[in-house]
Amino acid sequence: MNYCSSCAAPLHLGIPEGDHLPRHICDACGTIHYQNPRVITGCLPVFEDKVLLCKRAIEPRKGYWTLPAGFMENDESTTEGAIRETMEEANAHVIISHLYTLTSIVHVNQVQMIYLAQMEKPEFAKSSESLEVRLFEESEIPWDQLAFPTIKNALNYYFNDRKTGEFPLREIILKSN
């Protein structure tokens, strides 16, 4: 960050009084520009014994499979974001059950929240963000073609938890790729 978004003056990197981390500071107007992790929200959509995956049409990891998820928007809840992302990426309606995985992705300053969700009907379609959208049985999951470790984690938890019928919230911390 080079210039203040409040007054357009140059910024310097420093530790504000009472803080312990370097921040971008504007000497002209006094604004301190905080940079915080970005929130990714999405869901693990289930229909009968299958899960819905999307093949990414955009970078990063174009051509790899993922759960429908993306960056949360202002003025929406995390569940609203998960529902929106599922519609944007898979043209699918879901009913959110509960927060299933909460992952701190420390090395890229992101927090990912994946909700367990049900699909009432197997209705879905590709979009501008997905090359293909498909329901997969566990034996059909393209494990070596999954876009992100967080998606592999969520799917592994789901298929293991399905054996017991208990789907607890999982908190995961990833510090590097």
Q: Could you count the other beta carbons within 10 Å of the beta carbon of residue 53?
A: 27
Q: What local confidence, expressed as pLDDT, does residue 125 receive? A: 98
Q: How far apart are CA 12 and CA 3, in angstroms?
A: 9
The answer, yes or no, to whether residue 117 has pLDDT greater than 90, is yes
Q: Are residues 26 and 55 in the same domain?
A: no
Give the residue-averaged pLDDT of 33-45.
96
Report residue 176's pLDDT band, with 50, 70 and 90 as the boundaries. confident
Residue 10 has pLDDT above 90, yes or no: yes
Domain count, the chain: 2
Does 135 share its domain with 159?
A: yes
Q: What is the mean pLDDT of residues 50-57?
A: 98
* Other CB atoms within 10 Å distance of the CB of residue 76: 13
Are 123 and 47 in a shared domain? yes
The whole-number average pLDDT for the span 57-64 is 97
The pLDDT value recorded for residue 15 is 96
| Measured distance CA(177)–CA(163) in Å, rounded | 29
Q: Are residues 95 and 9 in the same domain?
A: no
Instruction: With beta carbons less than 8 A apart as the criterion, state whether 37 and 109 touch.
Output: yes
What is the domain-level CATH number for residue 25?
2.20.70.10
- For residue 168, what are the contacts with CB-CB under 8 A and spacing of at least 6? 161
One domain for residues 26 and 90: no
Place of tokens 């908190």: 171
Domain around 66: 38-174
Q: What is the pLDDT of residues 124-146, one digit of tens each?
A: 999 999 999 999 999 999 999 99
Which tokens is 75 given? 């003025």
Q: How confident is the model at residue 166 (pLDDT cuts 50, 70, 90)?
A: very high
What would the pLDDT profile of 63-105 be if each residue is shown by its tens digit?
A: 999 999 999 999 999 999 999 999 999 999 999 999 999 999 9
Check: pTM over 0.85? Answer yes or no.
yes
pLDDT at 177: 61
